[in-house]
């Protein structure tokens, strides 16, 4: 089994475009009659649904942004009566009210199908057991993977996030072939396995499906070695449907994730001007849902920074997206330099004495912002050096660590353009994921004002 939906996943591009164009025309007419928000927005721009004949006309339409969802809280953007929906979800929303999304029965069918496609791309097959360690609840991760797994014919183990002891017990006793969770939680599980002396060979798991937060090749390497799996990326957001908007193919790991573009039409636009960018350029990812009924969104500004490109792979025709560098609002601006935390992670991965566990600490030093990074040294390195005290100033550290400290500082300066205060710390001393998304930035500027 190579595909969940072979016909659509391999549809020639001209046919795919025709399908998208037809779906978009219908969507425009539907939204214009059903959702006052869109009618008003398009009237103000002097646009009629008939002006939208296909995806090439999308650029004419205004963006929909997160604040529009908040302003229409909770159900104002629904295109059908709430009574006709069969499920509601909400994104965690760190501040204020959550963003609410609704699903019709058909929407849940689409959600399940795109997750099933994603699972097959990840290397899952009917009959395999899926340990679902995404949170169940208003967050779309848990139920999203659950329904997709069932549709594919997997045996789903709905353990939910966290409860590390139980996760380890089930991994050993139920012997699932597949686990899905956040990448930071997979790091945590890898470390807990090692701490208990459980080797990957004692487990049956061969695939880890990781998403819901940015991650890099460094984490892939750690998790693949630590759990004995192939780690693949799943991406999504509740506003568009949930996880399964795009997914990596396990045989093409590291080359990007296929976007199921018969349902979710992607654009990448300049984060300042909103102008569409050519294939391969980095900008904000924007989606139009082509088939959803309960709460379709037009040109939704995800705030996620990535690029999209056709790879002309033999396996599928759909466009791919690269890894998410971060959300536009996660971008730190330190002394005029733009920085995503994942850029630091990328530098760390080249030092095999270091763990891919780090924390960035932003503070204000007078009028200047400054950035410090804490990074963990591997256990075996410290053991070989006779467990030196890492609390002492860098100059007093053993030669090997002093050299490492200097080299890391130079590499960061060279590739990011910033001088950062670096502290080497003991393995395990930086906060770990409790089962959900992990924030790797401690911003002391925010707590002061
Ligand atoms: P919340 O905004 O509360 O986190 P969601 O749970 O819908 O709501 O999270 C969606 C967001 O999570 C995406 O917009 C993106 O920033 C992030 N995300 C999801 N999957 C990935 C992934 N594979 N890689 C990077 N970031 C991801």
Alpha carbons 246 and 115: distance in angstroms, whole number:
9
pTM over 0.85: yes
DSSP string, 94-148: SSSSPPEEEE-HHHHHHHHHHHHHHHHHHT--TT-EEEE-SPPSSSHHHHHHHHH
What is the predicted pLDDT for the residue at 366? 81
In this structure, the answer to whether residues 209 and 239 fall within a common structural domain is yes
Strands across the sheet containing 242-248: 155-157, 129-132, 178-181, 207-211, 230-237, 242-248, 257-259, 320-321, 308-309
E strand or H helix at 193, and its extent? helix 183-195
Q: Based on the fold, state whether residues 305 and 389 are members of the same structural domain.
A: no
Three-class DSSP category at 222? helix
Query: What is the tally of structural domains in the chain?
Result: 2
Pair 314, 428 in one domain:
no
247 lines ligand 1 (CB under 6 A): no
Atom of ligand 1 nearest to the CA of 242: 7
Q: What is the DSSP letter of 199?
A: -
User: Does 193 share its domain with 57?
Assistant: yes
Question: Ligand 1: distance of its center to the CA of 246 in Å?
Answer: 12
Under 8 Å between Cβ of 363 and 445: yes
Per-residue pLDDT at 368: 84
Query: Closest ligand 1 atom to the C-alpha of 92?
Result: 3
CATH number at residue 286: 3.40.50.12780
Residue where a domain stops, chosen among 293, 327, 361: 327
- 22 and 44 within one domain: yes
Atom number of ligand 1 nearest to Cα 327: 16
Ligand 1 in reach of 162 Cβ (< 6 A):
no
Residues 183 and 317 in one domain: yes
Are residues 106 and 123 both part of a single domain?
yes
138: domain range?
Answer: 1-327
Task: Please tell me whether residues 159 and 126 are part of one structural domain.
Answer: yes
Is residue 434 within 8 A of residue 213, CB to CB? The reply is no
For the chain, which residues score pLDDT lower than 50?
448-449
Please give the distance, rounded to the nearest whole angstrom, from the Cα atom of residue 106 to the centre of ligand 1: 23
Q: Which of 275, 292, 327 is the last residue of a domain?
A: 327
Residues contacting residue 165 through CB under 8 Å, at least 6 positions apart:
none
The number of the ligand 1 atom at minimal distance from the alpha carbon of 257 is: 23
State the DSSP code for 350.
T
Residue 216 in contact with ligand 1 by CB distance below 6 A = no
Picking from 170, 107, 94, the residue whose alpha carbon sits closest to that of residue 139 is 94
Q: How many A from CA of 242 to the centre of ligand 1?
A: 9
Q: Which of 327, 344, 377 is the last residue of a domain?
A: 327
Residue with the smallest CA separation from ligand 1 atom 12 is 212
Binning the chain into helix, strand and coil, the percentages to the nearest 5 are 35, 25, 40
Q: Is 137 in the pocket of ligand 1 (CB under 6 A)?
A: no
CATH number at residue 422: 3.30.300.30
Do 311 and 376 lie in one domain? The reply is no
Same domain, 248 and 345: no
CA distances from 130 to 72, 142, 145, 413 (A): 37, 12, 9, 42
The reply to whether ligand 1 has any atom less than 6 angstroms from the CB of 301 is no
Which is the closest atom of ligand 1 to the Cα of 239?
Answer: 7
409: phi > 0 → left, psi -120 to 50 → alpha, else beta; which? alpha
Claim to verify: residue 262 and residue 384 sit in the same structural domain: no
Same domain, 7 and 35: yes
38-89: per-residue pLDDT in tens? 999 999 999 999 999 999 999 999 999 999 999 999 999 999 999 999 999 9
**CB of 61 sitting under 6 A from ligand 1:** no
Is the CB of 93 within 6 Å of ligand 1? yes
| Best mutation site among 181, 213, 285 for ligand 1 pocket (most ligand atoms within 8 Å of CB) | 213
């Amino acid at each position: 089994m190579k595909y969940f939906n072979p016909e659509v996943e391999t549809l020639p591009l001209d046919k795919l475009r025709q399908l998208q164009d037809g779906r978009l025309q219908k969507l425009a007419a539907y939204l214009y009659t059903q959702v006052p928000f869109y009618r008003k927005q398009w009237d103000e721009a002097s646009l009629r649904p008939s002006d939208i004949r296909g995806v090439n006309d999308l650029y004419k339409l205004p963006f929909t942004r997160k604040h529009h969802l908040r302003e229409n809280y909770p159900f104002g953007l629904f295109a059908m009566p709430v009574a006709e929906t069969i499920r509601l979800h909400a994104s965690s929303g760190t501040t204020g009210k959550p963003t609410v999304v609704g699903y019709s029965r058909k929407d849940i069918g689409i959600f399940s199908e795109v997750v099933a496609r994603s699972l097959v791309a990840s290397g899952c097959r009917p009959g395999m057991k899926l340990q679902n360690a995404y949170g169940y609840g208003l967050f779309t991760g848990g139920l999203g993977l659950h329904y997709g797994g069932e549709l594919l014919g997997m045996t789903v183990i709905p353990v939910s996030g966290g409860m590390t002891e139980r996760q380890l017990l089930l991994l050993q006793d139920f012997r699932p072939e597949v686990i899905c969770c956040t990448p930071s939680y997979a790091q945590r599980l890898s470390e807990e396995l090692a701490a208990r002396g459980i080797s990957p060979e004692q487990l049956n798991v061969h695939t880890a499906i990781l998403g819901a937060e940015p991650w890099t090749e460094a984490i892939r390497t750690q998790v693949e070695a630590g759990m004995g799996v192939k780690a693949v990326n799943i991406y999504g957001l509740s506003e568009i449907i949930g996880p399964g908007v795009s997914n990596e193919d396990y045989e093409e790991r590291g080359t990007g994730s296929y976007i199921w573009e018969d349902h979710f039409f992607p654009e990448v636009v300049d984060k300042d001007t909103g102008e569409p960018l050519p294939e391969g350029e980095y900008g904000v990812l924007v989606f139009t849902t082509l088939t959803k009924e309960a709460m379709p969104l037009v040109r939704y500004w995800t705030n996620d920074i990535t690029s999209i490109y056709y790879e002309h792979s033999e396996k599928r025709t759909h466009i791919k997206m690269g890894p998410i560098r971060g959300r536009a609002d996660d971008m730190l601006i330190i002394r005029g330099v733009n920085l995503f935390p994942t850029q630091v992670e990328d530098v760390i991965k080249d030092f095999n004495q270091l763990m891919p566990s780090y924390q960035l600490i932003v503070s204000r030093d007078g009028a200047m912002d400054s950035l410090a990074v804490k990074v963990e040294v591997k256990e075996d390195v410290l053991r070989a050096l006779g467990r030196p005290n890492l609390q002492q100033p860098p100059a007093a550290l053993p030669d090997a660590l002093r050299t490492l400290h200097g080299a890391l500082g130079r590499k960061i300066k060279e590739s990011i353009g910033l001088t950062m205060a670096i502290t080497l710390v003991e393995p395990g001393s930086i906060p770990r994921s409790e089962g959900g998304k992990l924030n790797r930035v401690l911003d002391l500027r925010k707590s002061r004002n």
